[in-house]
Amino acid sequence: MSESPSSDRVPARTASAVLVFGLCCLLSTARLVIDAPSPRDSPGDIARRSDQRFSALKAALPERGVVGYIGEPEIPALADYYLAQYALAPLVIDHSPNHPLVIGNFPDSSSKNALPNDLKLVKDFGDGILLFANQVSAINKDEQ
Amino acid sequence: MAFTLPVFLCLASGFLLVSIGWQSYRSFADRVFVGSLSAGFGLGIFSVVYFLSLLLRFTHPILVDLAVCAVLAGAFLLFRIRSAPATAGDAEQNHRQPPWLHRFATAAFAIALAGALYSAAMRVLAYPHGDGWDAFSIWNLHARFLFRGGSNWRDGFTSLIPWSHPDYPLLLPADIAHFWTYLGHDAPAVPAIIGFVLTFSTVGLLFAALSLLRGNLAALLGATALLATPAFVELGTAQYADVPLSFFVLASIVLVCLYDDRPYNDQPASDSPPAGLLVLAGFAAACAAWTKNEGLLFLCAILAARLITLTRRHGSTNWIASGRRFLPLLIAVVPAFLLIAFFKHSIAPPGDLFSDPSTTLHKLADPARYWAITRWYFKGFFRFGRWLLVPGTILMIGFYFACGKEEHVEPQLGIRTSVLALALTLAGYFAVYLITPYDIYWHLRFSLTRLLLQLWPSAIFLFFLLVKVSPVRDSRGATLPLPLS
């Protein structure tokens, strides 16, 4: 079981390995520090695109329930939709115009032209945010 | 005050739970161990308490939190009176290295810690709502539904917004909402702080566990390796659930190894390791399952691994010995199974993974999918940490060849269980990619790195249990055989 006192020493190979290991780790630490973002890079980006942007609309919507949503068709615009849902929770935002109330979200206002005919503008909140009433959905809901 | 009280109650409940299974605070490693576990376990308790309060419509969470603390304090006193302090061999003091080597490792650790803290703080300040879509489209969104929804909190868990993954478990969202309830508003600082705390608790837990089992040098190197994994720190502060999951996976594995492989296993049966450690391991696995669906996979994996290793160790005839080492783990996870089953069955809509069963068999029979996943696993193995110049995985392979395997160690029951559990979890991830309803390359591209990071702290822990970093000696200088369980 016991060994000679000399075996108490760490072999040179192990010591070298520890040195190399530590130094290589510190290389990646350098990357971590260099790549650290400055708080000035994107201050409150999500808050600006969600909570702040939708605050006026939120006051005009019911507190609970489901409302519809239309936005720009491109894939990147999905983030705008997700941010709308994030801002307006606990209201559920269904990506569909088939609801009595429909939110229009067009940060790039040039794409507002192709709106469904059933939608009637209730209010323009500015910054590409609109609130529509879907008359067909409202009638269907009343009938149900 | 509004933030201090819930923080105190969260930490206190975690500490009391941990103390039921761990009653030694003598060494620095003991205290780091208890502190790190207390933070994570406190969050686990806080989450479940909030969720049950919502279900049962308790409107005063502070009363529930106080009641939980009181019950845990009672259990703590009971166990403290009945059991002697844990008699762990002071592995921390039994490892000797040259002072200069220890000083170098300490300096490297300190620099890595300072760098990680700086980076994490900058990221939290730059991205207060999280860095990436999952933060606001899944975890914080669910927290808002829980907090803002009042009695209609279930509205958010609807199939109308499948992209928010309403079937994902609620550990993080319920924790966040719990703290918001105390604050009275949905402060973005809460998820940021939770992410920060769990990131560095994972490091603390890794350090303490290695220190207890293999000594300070292994602990310093292991913790440095984790701190110097850029992707780990970045993901930990992005307000995703992967690093919290990695904490609970590591906690479960550490506790199983402490139960099986510490020196008290050489003592007579009456001094066998406290079963509380296995209960805590089960609780950690349960928290993993309550954090992410991948955690549910890990929970099943560690139960299966435990059964397999126990059966191999004790044979199929010695049921009592096997049962003693399995039942405490099982008992701790049963409530979590029930809770998750209730959530999945009664609240959440079906998940997207099995949304297209008609093509599952076809996908399973497609060799191209196996090959694609294998290639991505191989690439991911070298790339997932975003290391600079030398991948951490290569570094560890090189370190292993330079130092060799611990001479006196046959892989122990705890290590075997843990390695098998991680292997089964990785195999489970592989199977999920095989049957994914999404484009397989898209799915691999956006998730494989995070899945590997979920297991990375545990992999580092097991690596440093197996590699020979330094001779292990007792107080008289004799080489200690590592415990045979």
B188 Cβ under 8 Å from any chain A Cβ: yes
Say yes or no for a CB contact (<8 Å) between B148 and A46. no
Q: What is the pLDDT of residue B314?
A: 74
Q: What is the mean predicted confidence (pLDDT) over B365-391?
A: 92
Distance CA B481, CA B472 (A): 8
pLDDT for the residue A142: 59
Q: Using an 8 Å Cβ cutoff, are A13 and B402 in contact? A: yes
A100: left (phi over 0), alpha (psi -120 to 50) or beta: alpha
- Option in A7, A23, A28 nearest B387 (CB): A28
DSSP assignment of B395-456:
HHHHHHHHH-B-TT-PPPHHHHHHHHHHHHHHHHHHHHHHH-SS-HHHHHHHHHHHHHHHHH
Å between A122 CA and nearest CA of chain B: 24
Decide if pLDDT at B269 tops 70: no
Q: In whole angstroms, what is the distance from residue B248 CA to residue B246 CA? A: 6
pLDDT-above-70 percentage for chain B: 89
Chain B positions in Cβ-Cβ contact with residue A24 (cut-off 8 Å) = 389-390, 395
Q: Could you tell me if B194 and B43 are in contact, meaning their C-beta atoms sit under 8 angstroms apart?
A: yes
Q: What is the mean pLDDT of residues B104-132?
A: 93
Q: Averaged over B193-215, what is the pLDDT?
A: 95
Strand partners, A92: A66
Contacts of B473 in chain A (CB under 8 A): 8
Task: Indicate yes or no: CB of A21 within 8 angstroms of CB of B133.
Answer: no
| Amino acid making up residue B49 | V
Nearest by CB to residue B105, choosing from A18, A20, A65, is A18
**DSSP letters for B356-389:** -GGGHHHHHT-HHHHHHHHHHHHHHHHHTT--SS
Tell me the residues of chain B between 339 and 398 that have a Cβ less than 8 Å away from chain A: 385-390, 392, 395, 398
Q: Which residues fall within 8 angstroms of residue B366, CB to CB, at 6 or more apart?
A: none
B100 vs B208: which has the higher pLDDT: B208
The predicted-structure confidence for B48-95, as pLDDT tens digits, reads as follows 999 999 999 887 888 899 999 999 999 888 877 665 444 444 454 445
Predicted local distance difference test score (pLDDT) of residue B54:
92
Q: Are A34 and B119 in contact (CB under 8 A)?
A: no
Backbone φ and ψ for A68, nearest 5 degrees, come out as: -85, 175
Chain B interface, best mutation among A14, A45, A58, A98, by max B CB count within 10 A: A14
Min Cα–Cα distance to chain B from A64, Å: 8
- Of A30, A42, A66, nearest to B127 by CB-CB distance is A42
The predicted pLDDT at position B374 comes to 95
| Residue B122 at interface with chain A, using a CB cutoff of 8 Å | yes
Q: Which two tokens stand for residue A119?
A: 């939608």
Please report the pLDDT score of residue A35 as a whole number: 92
User: Nearest CA to CA, how far is A51 from chain B (Å)?
Assistant: 11
Q: Do B149 and A32 touch (CB under 8 A)?
A: no
Tell the residue number behind the tokens 């990221």, with chain if given: B123
- List phi, psi (to 5°) of B65: -60, -40
* Average pLDDT rounded to a whole number, residues B224-242: 95
Asked if A68 and A103 touch (Cβ cutoff 8 Å), the reply is yes
Q: What percent of chain A has pLDDT over 90?
A: 42
**Which tokens go with B485?**
């369980």
pLDDT digits (tens, 9 = 90+) for B324-356: 888 999 999 999 999 999 999 999 998 877 777
Residue B168 · residue B138 · CB < 8 Å: yes
Which of helix, strand or coil describes residue A121? strand
Which tokens sit at B473?
Answer: 């000696």
Nearest CA-CA distance, residue A96 and chain B, Å: 10
A32, B153: Cβ pair inside 8 Å? no
- Whether pLDDT at A4 is above 60: no
Q: Which of residues 423-452 of B touch A (CB under 8 A)?
A: none
Check B158 against A32: CB less than 8 A apart: no
Partners of A93 in beta bridges: A67
The CA distance from B479 to B485, in Å, is 18
Strand bridging mode A129-134 / A101-105: antiparallel
Q: What angle do CA B462, B464, B467 make, to 5 degrees?
A: 110
Test B112 with A13 for CB contact under 8 angstroms: no
DSSP string, A42-95: STTHHHIIIIIHHHHHHHHS-SSSEEEEEE-SSGGGHHHHHHHHHHHTTSEEES
Domain ranges within chain B, ordered by starting residue: 4-84+95-466
Give yes or no for B119 touching A (CB within 8 A). yes
This complex has an ipTM of 0.87
Nearest beta carbon to residue A26 from set B111, B152, B163: B111
Indicate the burial class of B213 (C-beta count within 10 angstroms; 0-12, 13-18, 19 or more).
Answer: buried
pLDDT at B268: 45
Q: What is the pLDDT of residue B358?
A: 77
Q: Which residue has the higher pLDDT, B242 or B403?
A: B242
B475 in contact with A, Cβ within 8 Å:
no
Question: B98 and A5: CB-CB below 8 Å?
Answer: no
Any idea which of B220-224, B246-250, B286-290, B359-363 has the lowest mean pLDDT? B359-363
* Beta carbons of B403 and A13 less than 8 Å apart: yes
Alpha-carbon gap, residue B43 to B172, rounded angstroms: 8
Is residue B430 scored above 80 in pLDDT? yes
What pLDDT is stored for residue B470 in this prediction? 66
* pLDDT for residue A15 is more than 70: yes
Type of residue found at A48: R
Inter-chain contact B155–A90, Cβ cutoff 8 Å? Answer: yes
CA closest to A86 among chain B residues: B141
Instruction: Give the residue from chain A lying closest to B469, CA to CA.
Output: A14
Q: Give the gyration radius of chain A's Cα atoms.
A: 28
Nearest to B108 among A25, A33, A35 (CB): A25
B265 pLDDT above the threshold of 50 = no
Residue B148 and residue A89: Cβ atoms within 8 Å?
yes
pLDDT at B46: 94
Nearest residue, CB atoms, B469 vs list A14, A38, A93: A14
pLDDT one-digit tens code per residue, A60-107: 999 899 999 998 877 668 888 999 999 999 999 999 999 999 999 988
DSSP character string of B287-341? HHHHH-HHHHHHHHHHHHHHHHHHHHHHTTT-HHHHHHHHHHHHHHHHHHHHHHH
